[in-house]
Chain A
Amino acid sequence: MKKTLLFLILAFSVLLQTSFMQKISIFGVSPNLPMTMLFFVAFFSRSYKMTMLSGLFLGLLFDIFSGTAFGIFSLTFICLAFFVSVLLDSVVLRDNIFMLFAILFFGTIFGSFLSAATADLFDLLEISVMHINLNYSLLKTSVIEAVLNSFLMLAILPLRRFAIL
């Protein structure tokens, strides 16, 4: 039951991302609710299985709505879930809330570059012709997104109390 509820909330977050969240943008950059939710699940569920399955689920939904080649975000979200799980296992201050924000901030930047690199790989393999430049502009976008995601995390932190994880 808890798992079903969690996956419903994750699906809800993707729907919000494609509609509502796009209306809220700063310097043309919107916060990424599904990615923030993934870090939330990784930090509070303490289950790598749940984190990686959430990553796959969010990535697939992201791909359906995205105009880039199918699979880019599925791969990005799974990789992100894997790296975060590994990192959280090896970090001593796992229970420190500041660690969550640090991982979210740098994880968002890493996630943006990972998606861009995957898009370029797909371009190279001739799966798609979409090309995302790995440049200063991407860095600016990802840093703004990371800051916005941190604020978003502050807003969704109370979800912990509802014991969905």
Chain B
Amino acid sequence: MARGSGKIKLFGFLAVIVFLLIFLNIYINDGKAQNSVFDILKSPVKIFSSVGDMFVGGFKIVFGLKDIISENASLRSENKNLTQKLVEAERLREENELLRKQLSLSEERKQILIDVRILSFEPSNLSEFAVIDKGRNDGLKKDMPVILSGNILFGKISEVYDSYSKVILITDGNNKVNVKVFLNKEEKDAGKTLYNGVLSGYFGKSLFMDLIDKRSDVSFGDLIITSGLDGIYPEGLIVGKVDIIKDDDNAVFKQAYLMPAFLPLTSNLAFVIK
């Protein structure tokens, strides 16, 4: 009996401490204590993350050798196609520049990128966050978009501290992104129409696209990019590819599940768009 009441007393005492810390964190401290603790833990986290990369990399090499061979073949053929497209894109860029000059149009707004390192990830499976190694001192602000190399959307900054920031990933259920389908010339010529939607995170690090016009032609493998309509993410960032299409007769909109383009993560380097 005494043990039982001791437990309740200790539980109550610890709960009071936590509530006090929550109160201090919100109204007085402004995250300074968290920042100090994180400064201490920064180095060991970096080491563990590198060890994790090495372990998973080694595991993949051993168990995925067969896949690597076939993947290598498909990448080689994709590389040839991309080289062709790169030449075409370069020609178009030059043509575009020339036309802009002739029409006296202002130059395209260039994005300022700040390179950051992803230090750690959300420890629980309930939400999707990452911690990056730069913060307020480096000019980072809340809601700045975070991308990976290749213009792949990763997320946006949700909390900023002095020397680090937290990023809410696009795979989190609370992060809404306005997106549209990317249509290439062949698809446009074939009469495929543009469709928009709103994206949020879904179970198992996938994405869920909602509010797609019922008449639109959504197909497997469609490339989805940001539309820029939400005012947070600039237009044209790569989000992912359509994996599963959901078209219920009774539903007002079509829905789709997407595979995020940023997965699997191959590097810990990211960029914040200023």
Contacts and interface: CB of A to CB of B under 8 A. Distances in A.
Contacts of A112: 125-126
Main secondary structure, interface of A, reads helix
Interface in A30-77: 30, 32, 34, 48-49, 52-53, 55-56, 59-60, 62, 64-71, 73-75
Nearest to A90: B4
A52 B11 contact: yes
A71 B21 contact: yes
A136 B188 CA distance: 39
A132 B120 contact: no
B10 A48 contact: yes
A32 B122 CA distance: 11
A7 to B, nearest CB: 14
B213 interface: no
Given A15-B45, A27-B204, A74-B18, A65 B126 contact: no
Q: Which of A49, A67, A89, A138 has the most CB of B within 10 A?
A: A67
Given A15-B48, A27-B204, A85-B7, A34 B18 contact: no
Contacts, number: 151
Contacts of A14: 123
Interface string B1-42: 001101100110011011101100110000000100110010
Q: Which of A53, A68, A137 has the most CB of B within 10 A?
A: A68
B210 to A, nearest CB: 14
A19 B22 contact: no
Contacts of A127: 22, 26
Interface of B: 3-4, 6-7, 10-11, 14-15, 17-19, 21-22, 25-26, 34, 37-38, 41, 44-45, 48-49, 51-53, 55-56, 120-129, 131, 158-159, 166-168, 172-174, 202-206
5 contacts: A23-B53, A66-B129, A70-B22, A132-B126, A140-B203
Given A68-B127, A70-B26, A138-B126, 15 more contacts: A16-B48, A32-B125, A52-B11, A65-B120, A65-B131, A67-B158, A67-B166, A67-B172, A71-B19, A71-B22, A71-B25, A75-B15, A86-B4, A112-B125, A131-B174
